[in-house]
Structure 1
Amino acid sequence: MAGRVMKRFSGLFFATVMLCLPASAKLSAETLTDMLVLAYDSNPKMLAGRQALRVVNEQFPQAVANWLPTLSTAMSADRSLSASESTAPSNSRTDTYKNTLSYAQTVFDGGRNFARLDKAVASIRSQQETLRLTEQGVLLDVVKAYMNVIRDRQTLALREANKILLEQQLASTQVQFNLQQRTIADLSQAQARLRAAEATVIGADNNLKTSEASYLELTGLAPGELEMPGRPVNLPVDLEETIILAETFLPTVEIAQYAIDLAEYDASIENRSRLPTLGLAASLTHQRSKEAGAGPATDQRDISATVTLTVPLYQSGAELSRLRAARILVGQRRTELEDAKRSARSAAVTAWRTHVSANAQIESLREAAKAAETARDGIARELSVGRRSVIDLLDAEAELLTAQVNLAAGERDALVAAFEVLNATGQLTARDLNLPADIYRPVDDFERTKWKLYTTSE
């Protein structure tokens, strides 16, 4: 009877598990590439990151504006009334209209405008790297969520199939117990294993729902039928290349480098605040006055121009403190760059070794699952002729289930580890992965923004 149970289970197990396994023949299957493109185009973190970059891009025209003049006009109207209480009382009214056109421009500010422009460029490039960091994080999260759903679906299918098998095993043991061919211990053991299997099914179902919720959060879609992806093709060849790429292209390293540039520009701005400044101002004023009953209006035009040279002599010493602080900050940023490089190197080593280890474990896990299945089948045959106990078969089935669950987890870990290597080397971007998406080009938005000095349009 145990042999018949195993045959029935084999067909049921195959049908159940295949519902969760990828199949290239299924035309409606979602691919990892599809989900990466979807997240790249519509994930809120990605969209917010691009908007944040557009905000920082505005620093460039703001810095350019420091070179440009300001032009303003002011208009006023005044009416004055006077009354005389002399022997010949009289009243008079005078209306005055005044219009002033003013022009002001800083001709030289000690070179601070140049430093401000350089700082704006460094800020923009730093924000571009921040966007790349966000992109890598989102794409890696999508990979993890995608593979978690595949793993948890396989695990749930395995545990449900195992529960069905244990139900059949319990029914068989109950019949044999009634025929006095099995002991009460055999029956109790079969019941205990079934209850434990039911609990693991509940846990596996909860894990799957959690993974599906994460998938929905990242992509905006509930997971459909998922196809098992292949390994990325742009992996580094060895640990040495992994470390070099990490120290060179990782966004956190680039951000730390730009932080040094920003600190140096701030120090330059503080230092140049002690230099002379030269300003130019000019105004054109037209005034018209009209006294009621006193003939035609009188017009007056005034033109003035002023050149102002300001030489700082003593500014309370606060600027010197700010300069010292700015220079200290430069040193701090350089130390932080070294820390970023060390962290990048450590993360690269960890990612590479995890990748190598995960791939090495896959073959062992496959062999373990195959051996456990062979052992289970052999024990089932021996049970049918009375050479094995029910407990022996239950133990073999538990070992097979563990091996199959471990294999599903190992396949997930191996593929995620490969993408972790790309993330650790700064290569996990839509461009590096050759995703069929409309690649966002930060430089294009910058070019559209940098000379927008006469419009409010976005």
Structure 2
Amino acid sequence: MHIARSHLAGLLAGASLVSLSIASVPAAAQSLEEAMAAAYAINPALKAERSKYQATNQGIWTARSEFLPTVTGTYLGEHNAFETRSGTSDRAFFHELGVSMSQTLFQGFAGVNRLNQAHEEANSGRNQLIGVEQTLLFNTADAFLRVCRDRAILARLRAYTNVVQKEVNAARARYKSGDATRTDIEQALARLAEAQGNSDQAVGDLEASEALYERLTGQKPGKLGWPGIPKSIEPTGLDDAITVAYQNNPSIRAATNDARAARYAARAAVGDMLPRVTLESEWENGYRGNLGNRDEEDWRFGVRVTAPFFTGGRNIASVREAKFTAAQEEYELDDTQQIIRENVIRAMKQRAASRLRAKAGKRAIEANRRAVKGLQVEFDSGQRSLLDVLDGERELLLSQVDYVRARYDARIADFFLLANIGRLAPQHFSIVEERPDPIPRIMPEFNTWDLRLGPTENDPFQNYVIEVATSDPVPAPVPVVETQPLPSIK
């Protein structure tokens, strides 16, 4: 009895984490797509990520500015007053107006690499935004399923409480007629108290689940049904799921963009060690007294070449730092790929195991129902005690609760799998995407590495293949001609 009671408490202890109260449940039915659309429209974290992505995009305009001329205007106003030993003095106002312009002609290709780096960082921010979208949709699906699970558990606990209450009333009636003892009543009362306590716990779990649902969607849950996922976006198998994850998962794509950006940064650091050629022009006008009395004019035009001959080792340290950072980003990319692969495998296995557990739970429910009916018949004939009947009813409740939890585990594993393969996207759930357009490239890419980024299903602006420069083909080996041994010299 103690073991069964602790098992029941364990099943019900983790029953939920999500929404408001039962009395406030509205009558309108809600679908998962409607809940996801509501969360997508109002979630502040998603809006913050959109603003972050737009802020990251400004780095592209900053990098583009290195290719444009810089024009600066200056003005200087002075009041000069002096007095000589002979007693003469002079007081005058002096004004100076100037305009200077500089245009970088060559910068060791550092500007080109920094521009490509800015584009990769912007693409990384875009993939991070897609990742936040899919995380939000997964959390919404989880909250939706938690409410369904906790409502089902609470309904079964209340039904079980009513059954035990009837057993208590029947035991009291039999005690008055002399067909039962006081022990039978106390055993039934103990089970009733246990059922009431578990029901109260289930109410608290449901209120927490509904609170989470309301926080994500901005509305209280109505009539919810167990949702499914579109068959068209399910992977055909484990190998297909891993392949799709490597192609679509936003975390992998963002890590790839970060690794590419780090390589461009390393190239830019090398370019900073090369000479810089700048075209410069400056015009100045000096005025004495007022702006109508021009005193002098100066105009200059030329080319300036600067080369960092010695910087105390700062430039070499910058190059090494950039290269080590690039290596770090590539290791983090490998780690991200391994984590996603593990998540996909775990989701596939958990989904299969939960479905088998749910099928077994159905069989257990049917068997326990037949057992309870048999116990009732045997109790009426005097072959069973009241405690046997109460144990049978509790076993039926345990199988029902375990089936509900297995059903939840199977459904949440489906959405966890979609989130890891990158297919828990808004367009698959009839949600209009609100995503700022990226800034197009104006400079060519110089790809000499194998960090590939193919097209993705989640973003039409990334449906391109980044060409990878391949090395020259290895020449065919020269065939070896077998020669005959030379004859011995006599």
TM-score, normalisation: structure 1: 0.86
Change (3 A) 1:384 1:308: same
Residue 28 (structure 1) shift:
2.0
**1:179 alignment partner in structure 2:** 177
Cα-to-partner distance string for 1:121-159 (whole Å, 9 max, x where unaligned): 110111111112211211111111111011101111111
CA contact (8 A) 1:215 1:222 kept: yes
- 1:23-172 to 2 correspondence within 5 Å? 28-83=28-83, 86=86, 91-172=89-170
CA distance in 2, matches of 1:255, 1:270: 22
Cα-to-partner distance string for 1:350-399 (whole Å, 9 max, x where unaligned): 11111111222222211211221222123223323333321121111101
**1:427 alignment partner in structure 2:** 423
CA contact (8 A) 2:213 2:221 kept: yes
**2:372 alignment partner in structure 1:** 376
Residue 224 (structure 1) shift:
2.1
SS of aligned partner of 2:175: helix
Residue 290 (structure 1) shift:
3.6
CA distance in 2, matches of 1:230, 1:355: 13
Q: Which residue of the other structure, out of 412, 418, 426, is the alignment partner of 1:416? A: 412
CA contact (8 A) 1:119 1:261 kept: yes
Q: Which residue of the other structure, out of 374, 389, 399, is the alignment partner of 1:403? A: 399
Residue 404 (structure 1) shift:
1.2
Deviates more, 1:30-39 or 1:77-86: 77-86
Residue 82 (structure 1) shift:
4.1
Change (3 A) 1:80 1:334: closer
**1:215 alignment partner in structure 2:** 213
CA contact (8 A) 2:357 2:403 kept: no
Aligned length, in residue pairs: 416
SS of aligned partner of 1:236: coil
**1:228 alignment partner in structure 2:** 226
**1:352 alignment partner in structure 2:** 348
CA distance in 1, matches of 2:110, 2:209: 53
**1:247 alignment partner in structure 2:** 246
SS of aligned partner of 2:426: coil
Alignment-mate amino acid for residue 369 of structure 2: E
SS of aligned partner of 1:193: helix
**2:324 alignment partner in structure 1:** 328
Cα-to-partner distance string for 1:67-111 (whole Å, 9 max, x where unaligned): 11221211222233344664xx65543232221112122221111
Alignment-mate amino acid for residue 259 of structure 1: D
CA distance in 1, matches of 2:106, 2:72: 21
Residue 203 (structure 1) shift:
1.3
**2:188 alignment partner in structure 1:** 190
CA distance in 1, matches of 2:336, 2:157: 44
Cα-to-partner distance string for 1:275-332 (whole Å, 9 max, x where unaligned): 00012221211222249xxxx9444322112321012212211221222232233333
Matched, 1:278 2:277: yes
SS of aligned partner of 1:58: helix
CA contact (8 A) 2:426 2:432 kept: no
Structure 2 runs not aligned, ≥5 long: 1-21, 444-490
CA contact (8 A) 2:149 2:404 kept: yes
CA contact (8 A) 1:54 1:446 kept: no
Residue 201 (structure 1) shift:
0.9
**1:265 alignment partner in structure 2:** 264
SS of aligned partner of 1:224: coil
Cα-to-partner distance string for 1:327-350 (whole Å, 9 max, x where unaligned): 233333323322222222211111
Alignment-mate amino acid for residue 156 of structure 1: L
CA distance in 2, matches of 1:290, 1:178: 121
Alignment-mate amino acid for residue 80 of structure 2: S
Residue 171 (structure 1) shift:
1.0
Residue 258 (structure 1) shift:
1.7
CA distance in 2, matches of 1:46, 1:446: 20
Change (3 A) 1:41 1:114: same
CA distance in 1, matches of 2:195, 2:99: 87
CA distance in 1, matches of 2:420, 2:85: 93
CA contact (8 A) 1:41 1:437 kept: no
CA distance in 2, matches of 1:288, 1:329: 54
Identity %: 27
Residue 27 (structure 1) shift:
8.1
TM-score, normalisation: structure 2: 0.80
